[in-house]
A and B are shown apart, each in its own frame.
Chain A
Amino acid sequence: MTFQTEGARINHTPVIRRFTLPGLLLLFFLSLLLLPLFLSPLWIRIATEVLMWAGLAQSWNVIGGYTGYLSFGHGAFFGVGAYATGILMVHLGWPFGIGLFFSGVLSAFLALLIGYPTLRLRGAYFAIATWAFGELLRQVATILDITGGAYGLQLPAFLNLPFFYYIMLGVTGLTYLTIYLLLERARFGYRLLAIREHEEAAEMVGVDTVSIKIQAFALSAFFPGIIGGINAYWVTYIHPDSVLRADITDFMVVMAFLGGIGSLWGPFLGAVVVQLVQRVLWLVWGEGTFYLVIIGAAICSVVLFIPNGLIGVLEGQIFKPKEAIKELKKKVKW
């Protein structure tokens, strides 16, 4: 049994290229810059959340989508970043910005530590190790004094919604820019795809697969560390069941799959759809978990019928249920 993800079947390069034309991108970025001027505080908050999840889903996509190794503990890096920033600000009095950077570096370093032994092996080891790492961190944060244990940690309050919108926009923008430059435009990205498609063949043409995988994992942990730090300062109060809860990973995975893994814009699209649907349902029905059922059904449909995700549909891959079922019957022994 392999834990390689099934990426896109049909190439989505041409339209991606059109999407990523610098001009269009700049326009998109400018409109995001101006967005808070037209939104109520509630919607600025929701927009900030969407940006946050877009960055997180893309980070997961680096290791899960481009490289094909499923990380089931990626939310832990978000939690590490939140706690690191919190502790540095509260206990050591560091400024927010330096705390953020340090949080990203710490996350990446932890990824190196986990990746070093587990990314040498194929199969489920990596998935299990990352999952265990996430669980471990939650327990550790619950018992330590420095994290405030189960009571959590209170950060200095800074109630400035546009500030958090813009810093989230900046960091998520940086995430996408980095991943675009490193994964879509440089040899690093080609090598990751080669590893996903055929690891042994990649190694045979001179790709140091272990080292490349570890680098990819560290990169995929760096940004969640920073985003976690922003989130901590934004919500001002963190505890193990908020920033280290298991469904943070779940949402990263769901958004990436829904939007389309292994593509630059898939995770963004997935984050927009999932977070907006979740928030709209929350506005309509109030606090509840019913939206999870809808999102669960949506993700099942995507994995079964449109393996390339929403981005694949946008690029003109037609949804053919009958053929999809035929394909499925070939893959699954009834």
Chain B
Amino acid sequence: MILLESLNLVKSFGGVAAIDRLSLTVEKGMILGIIGPNGSGKTTFFNLVTGIFTPDSGKVLFHGKDVTGFRPHRIAKLGIGRTFQVPAPFSKMTVLENVMVSTFIHARTMKMAKEQAKKILGLVRLEEKADQQVLNVTLEDRKRLELARALGTQPSLLLLDEVMAGLTPAEVKASIELIRSLRTKDLTIIVVEHIMDVILSLCDRLAVLDYGSKIAEDIPDRVVNNPEVIKAYLGEHYRARN
């Protein structure tokens, strides 16, 4: 079953096409990886799906419904959650309050919102930091908070934008385990990441963007041996190493 579909998306900024006729389909329950050089349109794609940008042309279908141009809060209510590449916490609030802002979306009372938020903090192993100010927590915890806040809206599609950039190898390993544990038949995930080990160990399918267009999509093993992908992104060094 197709959960998300983008049809011929185009988005330009001042004459430069950041996304150029991009069509992508995401099956329900899968983890899709998106890789590509800097500026290839990965984050722009997320911004188009979540309604932060409106595409110049093309469509975004979610659950078969046209959601192109919906404002982000409506997209969130429909069930798409996302994290920001640079953590964007509500700084002068506690970790728990951050997640509560997002659990408000479905909780009827403050108490329910708090309970749900606590449960999610437990899921990402942040429960001990619940009452700390965001300003006082580490980068790793902020990245986890990003994830917790995205989960707070109970999404059926989760967009992860480089949630592991800047983490130590040990932290990356823990994060991979965490994301794997989130995966259920009801949660579909799209991962944008530069760390190839992460992509290879997490994803069922892999799409490669270059200059805003998809140049390859397949199972990860086949994608990393695709000559075009090696030329555009991975580099000859990568082939030699493998």
| Of listed B77, B84, B102, residue having the most chain A CB within 10 A | B102
With A201-B88, A206-B77 known as contacts, the answer to whether A190 contacts B153 (CB < 8 A) is no
* Closest A residue, CB atoms, query B97: A190
Binds B, one of A3-11, A216-224, A315-323: A3-11
Q: Is the interface of B mostly helix, strand, loop or mixed?
A: mixed
Q: Decide: B52 and A200 in contact? CB cutoff 8 A.
A: yes
13 contacts between A and B (CB under 8 A): A9-B92, A191-B104, A194-B101, A197-B89, A204-B76, A204-B81, A204-B82, A205-B102, A205-B152, A206-B105, A207-B104, A209-B73, A262-B92
Q: How many residues of B contact A (CB 8 A)?
A: 31
Q: Decide: A194 and B73 in contact? CB cutoff 8 A.
A: no
List the 5 closest pairs (A to B, CB-CB), nearest first. A205-B102, A206-B105, A197-B90, A206-B76, A201-B88
* Closest B residue, CB atoms, query A208: B73
Q: Decide: B90 and A198 in contact? CB cutoff 8 A.
A: yes
Q: Decide: B93 and A205 in contact? CB cutoff 8 A.
A: no
Instruction: Tell me whether B100 is interfacial, beta carbon within 8 Å.
Output: yes
Instruction: Tell me whether B54 is interfacial, beta carbon within 8 Å.
Output: no
Q: How far is the CB of B106 from chain A (nearest CB, A)?
A: 9
Instruction: Tell me whether B63 is interfacial, beta carbon within 8 Å.
Output: no
Q: How far is the CB of A184 from chain B (nearest CB, A)?
A: 12
Q: Return the contact of A8 from the options B82, B92, B153 (Cβ within 8 A).
A: B92
Q: Decide: B73 and A206 in contact? CB cutoff 8 A.
A: yes
Chain A residues near B206 (CB-CB < 8 A): none
Cα-based distance from A187 to B106 in the complex (angstroms):
12
A contact residues vs B (CB 8 Å cutoff): 7-11, 13, 185-187, 190-191, 193-194, 197-198, 200-209, 262
Q: How far is the CB of B92 from chain A (nearest CB, A)?
A: 6
Q: Decide: A205 and B76 in contact? CB cutoff 8 A.
A: yes
| Of listed B52, B88, B153, residue having the most chain A CB within 10 A | B88
Cα-based distance from A70 to B153 in the complex (angstroms):
30
Chain A residues near B90 (CB-CB < 8 A): 193-194, 197-198, 201-202
Chain B residues near A197 (CB-CB < 8 A): 89-93
Cα-based distance from A202 to B72 in the complex (angstroms):
9
Instruction: Tell me whether B149 is interfacial, beta carbon within 8 Å.
Output: yes
Cα-based distance from A207 to B98 in the complex (angstroms):
12
Q: Decide: B71 and A203 in contact? CB cutoff 8 A.
A: yes
Q: Decide: A187 and B104 in contact? CB cutoff 8 A.
A: yes
Q: Decide: B50 and A204 in contact? CB cutoff 8 A.
A: yes
Q: Decide: A203 and B100 in contact? CB cutoff 8 A.
A: no
Q: How far is the CB of B101 from chain A (nearest CB, A)?
A: 5
Q: Decide: B88 and A200 in contact? CB cutoff 8 A.
A: yes
Q: How far is the CB of B170 from chain A (nearest CB, A)?
A: 27
Instruction: Tell me whether B8 is interfacial, beta carbon within 8 Å.
Output: no
Chain A residues near B101 (CB-CB < 8 A): 187, 190-191, 194, 202, 205, 207
With A194-B101, A204-B50 known as contacts, the answer to whether A11 contacts B82 (CB < 8 A) is no
Chain B residues near A8 (CB-CB < 8 A): 92
Cα-based distance from A93 to B45 in the complex (angstroms):
62
Cα-based distance from A207 to B76 in the complex (angstroms):
9
With A200-B52, A204-B82 known as contacts, the answer to whether A190 contacts B93 (CB < 8 A) is yes
Instruction: Tell me whether B94 is interfacial, beta carbon within 8 Å.
Output: yes
Q: Decide: B149 and A205 in contact? CB cutoff 8 A.
A: yes
Cα-based distance from A193 to B98 in the complex (angstroms):
10
Instruction: Tell me whether B147 is interfacial, beta carbon within 8 Å.
Output: no
Q: Decide: A187 and B113 in contact? CB cutoff 8 A.
A: yes
Chain A residues near B50 (CB-CB < 8 A): 204
Chain A residues near B104 (CB-CB < 8 A): 187, 190-191, 206-207
Chain A residues near B113 (CB-CB < 8 A): 187
Chain B residues near A187 (CB-CB < 8 A): 100-101, 104, 110, 113
Cα-based distance from A8 to B135 in the complex (angstroms):
12
